[in-house]
Amino acid sequence: EKARAGFPPVDMALIASDAKDTNLLELLNTFNKDVRLRHVAVVLLAADPKAAEGPAANLIQGCVPKNVSKDDLGKALPAAFAKKDVPLDPKTEAVAIVQAIVTAVADLNPKTTSYPLAELTPTLIRLLQNHPDPIRLQAIRALGNLANPAGMDGLRQVFCEAKNPKELRLAALQGMGRIILEARAVSAEDCALLRKTLNDGDADLRAAAAAALGRAALGPEQVGAVLREQRIR
């Protein structure tokens, strides 16, 4: 409690270790690979500052003397963080943490992971609005990766909002295509939207719309309508 006032406003782990660097590196890699721990800053409590050298050094935010008193810990921690240029702004740190988590979800394989990723869909949809574009982009990628039909409305809204950057609209269209592929079906509304996009002035959007339509099990009438619209006989 005495040191709390001096703590940097970031999540951290204090690790006391006299282990060889190879063992320490293994421990730190565990932190780095775990989605829940990846954002945690690691400060090493060590008798010798040289313990923070070697292959593990790039995963350590700082080194604090192992025998530091509780009274001095609050001063020692900010100093350790300052040496590694760790951002101390809470808002900046919060954005970085959210972006790291959403990026991790976007890169996970929902068919092999044990995490109930589909439960994240409502949260990811909320991130599509009123957040920095880097977070929105990763949330879009994550929704496409999960291929949960519940995410279709959110992706459609991002795509249809013309003022959104092309990068976001294209990612949303690609995400819609992944959901369509998983469901092997497309609603009449989305089919009409994709058919309209086939005539868009942007070649990338046209290609993404064509790919999405190609993933749906279109009936003969729908296929015929697309061909007629594209003047393909």
In degrees and rounded to multiples of 5, residue 14 shows phi and psi of -95, 120
35-49, 114-128, 215-229, range with greatest mean pLDDT: 114-128
User: What are the tokens at 100?
Assistant: 């790291």
- What fold, for 91-229? Leucine-rich Repeat Variant (1.25.10)
More confident residue, 63 or 71: 71
Cβ proximity of 68 and 80 under 8 Å? no
Q: What is the per-residue pLDDT across 183-224, written as a single tens digit (0 to 9) for each? A: 888 888 998 899 899 888 999 999 999 899 888 776 656 666
Q: What is the per-residue pLDDT across 174-184, written as a single tens digit (0 to 9) for each? A: 999 999 999 88
User: What are the tokens at 167?
Assistant: 């990068």
Return the biggest CA–CA distance within the chain: 82
The stretch 59-80 carries a mean pLDDT of 58
More confident residue, 64 or 192: 192
Neighbours of 136 (CB within 10 A): 24
pLDDT, residue 85, reads: 47
The structural domains of the chain, with segments of one domain joined by +, span 4-88, 91-229
